[in-house]
Structure formats: C-alpha cells, structure tokens
Structure 1
Amino acid sequence: MNVFERYESNVRGYCRTWPVVFDKALNAKQWDVDGNEYIDFFSGAGVLNFGHNNLKIRQAMIDYLESGGVTHSLDMYSRSKREFIERFVNVILKPRGLDYKLQFTGPTGTNVVEAALKLARKVTGRRNVVAFTDGFHGMTLGALACTGNQKFHQAAGVELNNVIRVPFDGYLGDGVDTLEPLRRALQDTSSGITPPAAFILETIQAEGGINVASKEWLQQVQQLAREHGSLLIVDDIQASVGRTGHYFSFENLGIEPDLICMAKGIGGYGTPMGVLLIKPELDVWEPGEHTGTFRGQNLSFVAGAAALDYFENDDFLAEVKRKGAITEERLVEMIERANVDIELRGCGMMHGLDMVTGEKAAAVVASAFEQNLIIPTCGPNGRVVKVMPPLTIEDDVLEEGLARLEKAILSL
C-alpha cells in the first residue's frame, strides 16, 4: 500500500472502504494480489453491467486491435463509430419507436450532463434549470450545480448558480405533490420565478439513495416542462443499459425525454463512453461548438456494439427481471430477520437498503468486506447500502453474495 499512500492524492475514496490491491476479475468476482476471491455487488458504480472481463466483448476488442483498427479519432468518422451507431439505432432506438441523434461527448457522465445543460440553454435562450433534491449529475461545475450533495458543493470553490431546487417525488412524504409550489409559481407572473431552460432528473436516484420516482410524478414533470417550453433531460447514466429490466429506465413510465444522458454501462467493457441522445429538432449545435479530445473512443465503440448483442431480443432483460425478483425476495427476508429498522427501495437489479444512519450502513459494508463481499453505500450521509451486481452474475454467485450480505446485516 505504501506507493499509494505516498504518491496518490488524498482524494481517493473507494480504496479506503476496500483496502486491498485488486489484480484480476471475471464477471462478478475479483481477486486481489494475494489470491483472495471477492464477490462484486458494486459493478464499478454501474459501469460493469456485463461483468468484469466479459469474454465475448473482450474478444471483439482484441480482434479490433489485432486488425490495426483506429483507436483515437476525435469526431472524425471511423468504421467502429459507424458500426456502433448502426447497431444502437437498429437494436435500441427503432424497436422502441424512438428517434434521437447521438452526440459523443467526453467519456464520462458529467461530460454528457454538461453538454445537455448547454444545449438546453442554447435552444431556449434561458439560464435556470430545475434540479431535484438528492440528485447526482456529476462533479464538473454545471453538473455539480444540479447535484444536491453539500460536501461536493463545498469542494467547488465557487458559487454554483442558475439552478432551482425542487423536492423529488416522495421527499416530503407519501402523497405530497412536490411540484405544486413550482407549478403555482410558474403560473404567477409576480412570483419572481421564470420558466427554466430544462428540468433534469433521474428516474431512479442512484447515488441519492435509490429513490424511485413514480410514473405519475414523472408524467407531471414532463407536462410541466411542456407547458412552459422547457426541455426534459433524463440523466440515465446509472439506471439504463438494462439495469432496471428495461434498456432505458423510463421505457414503461409514459415519458419521452428531449435529451437523454448516457455513460457508464454503454461502453460495454468498462471502457469509457459518453453519449447524449438529442431529439433531431433540438440539435442546433454549430460545428465544433462543444468538443472533447476523447469523444472518438473507438475501443468503446467496439465494446459497446458487442454489448448490444444482449438486447437483440428480450431474453437478457427477462433474466435481469428474474434475478432482480430473486434479489428483492431475499432482501425482504433479510429485513424481516434483522433487529434494526431498514427500508428497501429499488427495482430490477438496483436496490437500496436504507439503514437510517450512515454509521449502520458503514458497519454493514465493513462486515460484508470481511466476508469478501464488495458492496457500497449511497444516499444522504451514506445511509443506504446499494445492491448492484453485474447483470450477468451467475445464480449461485448471486445467492452467495446475498448470503454474505445477510450475515453482515444480522451482525449489527
């Protein structure tokens, strides 16, 4: 560990929770340099939907590299980019009756959010954006302004402006219409609140604590946006690419966003890719108006195209729903046996156990790691234990990971 302690910045975080040096990985397992085996319920914060070192995707990348395929191309045309676009349109968009253009931004989620915010402001000529409590949208300044976390805000070093913060669905309790104050203010020309450029939201707030918005609430947000000429931006960076049992998290919720932010799992192999989906009539960028050195990530195009094979029919998503149901059933059983208050939230293969306090959640994570289970926390003060294994996890590995989690919970 000495080289990390001596030379890597103090900003490092996850390694403090799981203080070992990892060496190898395959699907839902990792091994450290001493050969100890771990089950992964973290999935690279949603990057590794198809597991570590997915053999099929890896072979596609190896074949591409051995063929001498171009690896870096900015926004120049390449064979791998063409094949990814064609695959994405034919496998994902057309079967769902969706029509979007693809903008490849810098390779992280926050890059995509920045592009979405800029484009929304350019389209509407407005500055303010509505964001929601407990939302997480990234760490660069525009995205950070829309993020709710106070600790992250304090690290910005500058004021974070042009955001109207509104309570997320359920934030004020069951049955409370969190949109009503904003709805009334936007109807009142003396309220001092003008129509925003956009509403940005996650249908499931992943880092915010696995808060799941209702179908009715999301439709009301879309209606409010439409009434006032605002764009609807769905940040689907962590909840898409099959995580909920649908490719997009909003598919069965009766909304159609103007802009969709995607990153993490869309790269297929853990290789970085950021994509902003834009309704064609909103693509008003001037050439080169928003750029990024690594927006032509060709290995990610190759890996991402190979990963789309999982969605050529409904079999894979049916498996996600089946494993998600197994996970939820086991989590309910754990809660019934536990001696502490726990609230279960989530859907598909994305669940959260609200332990009420960050201390209890941290204790569960630490106990789980003693049993070689890698599982993170999220939510306010880290009070929610997040259960998010790879979508490709084998049934026996899933069961073993859940058994280790149960031991950790019952040890409190």
Structure 2
Amino acid sequence: MNIFETIESEVRSYCRSWPAVFDKASGSWLKDENGKEYLDFFAGAGALNYGHNNPVLKEALLDYLSGDGVTHALDMNTVAKRDFLEAFSDIVLKPRGLDYKVQFPGPTGANSVESALKLARKITGRESVISFTNAFHGMTLGALAVTGNSMKRGGAGIPLVHATPMPYDNYFEGQYPDFLYFERLLEDAGSGLNEPAAVIVETVQGEGGVNVARPEWLRGLAELCQRHDMLLIVDDVQMGCGRTGPFFSFELAGIQPDIVTLSKSISGYGLPMALTLIKPELDQWEPGEHNGTFRGNNPAFVTAATALRTYWNDDLLEKSTLAKGEQLGTVLQEIADANPGVEARGRGLARGLAFEQPELAGKVCAAAFARGLLMETSGPQSEVVKLLPPLTLTDEELTQGIELLTASVRSVLKTA
C-alpha cells in the first residue's frame, strides 16, 4: 500500500474507505490480491450496470481489438460508431417515440453536462441556469456551478456563477405547494432572478442522498419550463441505462426533456463514453464548437452497441431490475421501521438508507467492507448508505448482499 500513499495525490477517496488492492473482477464480484472476494454493491458508481467483465461484451471487445479495429478517431466516421448509432436509434429511441440528435461531447458525464449547459445558453442567449438543492452534476466548473455540495463547490477556488438553486422535490417536506417559490420568482419582475436559459435536474439524486423526485413533480417541472420558455435538461448520467428500471429514468414521468446527458453505463463495460441527446431543432452547434480529443472512443461504441442488443431488445432486464429493486427496498424499509432515525429511499436498483446520525452511515459501510460487501455513502453529510448493485446480479447475490447489509447495520446500531 505504501506506493499509493507516497506517490498518489491526497485527492484519492474511495481507496481510503476500502483499504484493499483489487486484482480481479467478474460479474458482481471483485477480488483483492490476497484472494479475498467482495460483493460489489457500488458498481463503479453506476458505471457497471452489467457487471464487471461482462462475458458477452468482453468477447465483442476482444474481437474488435484483435481485428485491429480503430481505437481513436476523434469524431471521424467509423464502422463502430455507425453500428452504435444504429443500435441506439433502433433499440432505444424509436421504440420510445424519442427524437434526439446524438452528440459525443467527450468521455465523461461532466463533459456531457458542460455541453448541455453551453448549448442551452447558445440557443436562448441567456446565461442563468436553474439547478436544485443537493444536486450533483460533475466536477468541472460549469457542472460545479449547478452542483449543491459545499465541499465539492469549494474545490473550484473561484466564484461559481450563472446558476441559481431551487428546492428539490420534498425539500420542505410537503409544507409548501410544488414550485411555489420558483414560479413566484419567475413571475415577479422585482425578484432579481435572471431569466433562465434552462433547468437541469436529476430524477433521482444519487450523490445528493438518493433523493427521489415524484413523477408528478417532474411533470410539473416540465410544464413550468414550457410555460416560461426554459429548456429542460435531465441529467441521467447515473440513473440512466436502466438503473431505475426503464432505460431512461424520466420515462416513468412521461416527459420528454429538451436535452439529456448520459455517461457511466452507456458503454456497458466501464469504458469512458458519454452522450448528449438534443432535440433536433435545438442542435444549433457550429462544427467543432464543442469538441474533445477522446469523444470518439470506438471500443466503447462496440461494447455499448453489444449491451443494447443483449439487454434492451426486450423488457426482461427492466422487469428484473424493478423486481429486485422492490425486494431490496422492502428489506430497507423493514430496517428503517425497526430503527428510529433511519429512513429507506430509492427507486429500482438505486437504493439508500439515511441516518439521522450521519456518522453511522460510514460505520455501516466500513462494517460491510469487513464482511466482504462494497457500498459507498452519499448525501451532503455522507449520511446515506447508497446501494448500486449491478443490474445483472443473480437472485442469490442479491440475497447474500441483503444478509451482509442487514448484519452490518445491526452491528453498528447495536454499538451506537
């Protein structure tokens, strides 16, 4: 471990919670260099919805590489990119009645968010963007400006401007009608609110504490945007690609955002890849106006297309995710009911346990790690145990994870 501590930057984080040197990974499991196995309920922070080294995706990737397929191509036309675009159009967009142009903004979710914000400002000629309390959209300056976490914002080192936070769903615990404050500011010429170009929102705030927006709240937000001529951007970086059940997390609400950001599990294999989906009439970029050296990751196109054809030609994965999510959610609710000061949250296979005593969440994750289960914390005070298992985990692995989680919670609360 000494080389990591002496050579790697102090900015490292996950490795501090999981003091192991990982060596192998397969499906829902990681193995350290000493042979100890860990059940992964972290899944690369949602980048491994189909598990580690998924054999179907790995075979497609190895075939492509062994055949000297193009690896790096900027935004040049390639066979791999064409194949992905055809699969994405035929399997994802057309069956859902969605009409989007696809932009490859760069390899990360933050790249996608930055492009969405830039495009919204270009289209509208306005600078201000509305974000929400406890939002997380990335670590670059534009994405940080619409992020809520004070520690992450503090790392910018400069004022983060041109963004205004509004209350997320249930922020006031039902004490006020939805959007009362927001709409009042929009309609009052004396409010001081700059006319917004867009609103950016997560349907489920993962890093913010597994906060779930109700479908009716999301529909109300979409209607509000339409009435006030604001673009609606849905950040589906972590909650897209089936994490909540449907391919897009906003499908349940029946809305069609103007712009959608995707990354993490879109490549299917944990390879860097991101998309920005844009309604055709909004695709007003000049050639090269937003670009990036690694926006054309062809091996990621290969695994992404294979993942779509393997898992999204029918509704089996969606149904499985919803069923497993309900099973996990039921157990979390039972834990919450039995322990005052604990709250169950989530949708699909994005679940969380929130603790009134914030330090307990970290202790639960540490107890789970000792038992061979990987989970992370989230929320503004790291008060939520967040569970993001691979969507492809087996029933047996889900049961095992639930048992390890339950034992970890019990051990911590017994000594609290």
Instruction: Determine if the alignment matches structure 1 residue 226 to structure 2 residue 197.
Output: no
2:141 is aligned with 1:169: no
**Shift in Å, 1:103:** 0.2
> Which residue number corresponds to residue 321 of structure 1?
322
The superposition leaves residues 171-229 of structure 1 with CA deviations (integer Å, 9 ceiling, x where unpaired) of 11125235212211211222222320000000000100011111121112111211121
Measured in 2, the distance between the counterparts of 1:58 and 1:40 equals 19
Alignment of 1:132-143 (within 5 A): 132-143=132-143
Other-structure match for 1:250: 250
Per-residue CA distance 1:307-344 (angstroms, 9 max, x = gap): 10200011111111111111112222333444x42111
Instruction: Note the alpha carbon deviations across 1:231-272, whole angstroms, 9 max, x for none.
Output: 000000000101111000000202110000000010100001
- Matched-pair contact (CA < 8 Å) for 1:211–1:346: yes
Q: Is the contact made by 1:30 and 1:39 (CA closer than 8 Å) also made in structure 2? A: yes
Query: Is 1:128 aligned to 2:120, yes or no?
Result: no
Q: Deviations over 1:72-122 (max 9, x none)?
A: 000000000000000000000000000000000111100100000000000
Would the aligned equivalents of 2:268 and 2:304 in 1 still touch at CA under 8 Å? yes
- List per-residue Cα deviations over 1:114-140 (Å, max 9, x = no partner): 000000000000000000000000000
Matches within 5 A, 1:9-408: 9-309=9-309, 310-338=311-339, 340-408=340-408
**Residue 325 of structure 1 aligns to which amino acid in structure 2?**
E
**SS of the residue 1:328 aligns to:** helix
| Cα separation, 1, equivalents of 2:150 and 2:357 | 17
Q: Is contact 2:341-2:357 (8 Å) kept?
A: no
Q: Write the distance in 2 (CA, Å) between the matches of 1:130 and 1:253.
A: 20
In the alignment, is the contact (CA less than 8 A) between 1:127 and 1:162 conserved in 2? yes
**Contact 1:107 / 1:274 at 8 angstroms: preserved in 2?**
yes
CA shift, 1:63, in A, is 0.5
Give the Å deviation of 1:25. 0.7
CA deviations on 1:127-162 (whole Å, 9 max, x unpaired) are 000000000000000000000010011111111000
Contact 1:242 1:317 in 2 (8 A): yes
- Counterparts of 2:214 and 2:333, CA distance in 1: 21
The more displaced of 48-57 and 353-362 is 353-362
Matched letter for residue 67 of structure 1 = G
Once the 2 structures are TM-superposed, how far is the Cα of residue 37 of structure 1 from its aligned partner? Answer: 0.6
SS state at 2:389 partner: coil
**% identical aligned pairs:** 51
Q: Distance in 2 between matches of 1:333 and 1:173?
A: 22
SS of alignment partner, residue 323 of structure 1:
helix
- What's the CA shift string for 1:34-83, capped at 9, x where partnerless? 00011000000000000000000000000101111000000000000000
In the alignment of these two chains, the number of paired residues is 411
Cα RMSD after superposing both structures:
1.0
Instruction: Return the alpha-carbon distance in structure 2 between the equivalents of residues 252 and 387 of structure 1.
Output: 21
Residue aligned with 2:229, SS: coil
Q: Deviations over 1:10-42 (max 9, x none)?
A: 000000000100000111111000000110000
Aligned structure 1 segments of 4 or more residues deviating by more than 4 angstroms: none
2:134–2:148 Cα contact (<8 Å) kept: yes
- C-alpha distance in 2, partners of 1:17/1:137? 23
Amino acid across the alignment from 2:326: A
Q: Is the contact made by 2:198 and 2:233 (CA closer than 8 Å) also made in structure 1?
A: yes
**C-alpha distance in 1, partners of 2:34/2:281?**
55
Alpha-carbon separation, structure 2, partners of 1:137 and 1:94 = 27
**8 Å CA contact retained: 1:355, 1:361:** yes
Equivalent AA in structure 2 for residue 55 of structure 1? P
Question: Which structure 2 residue ranges, 5 or more long, are not aligned?
Answer: none
Counterpart code for 2:404: R
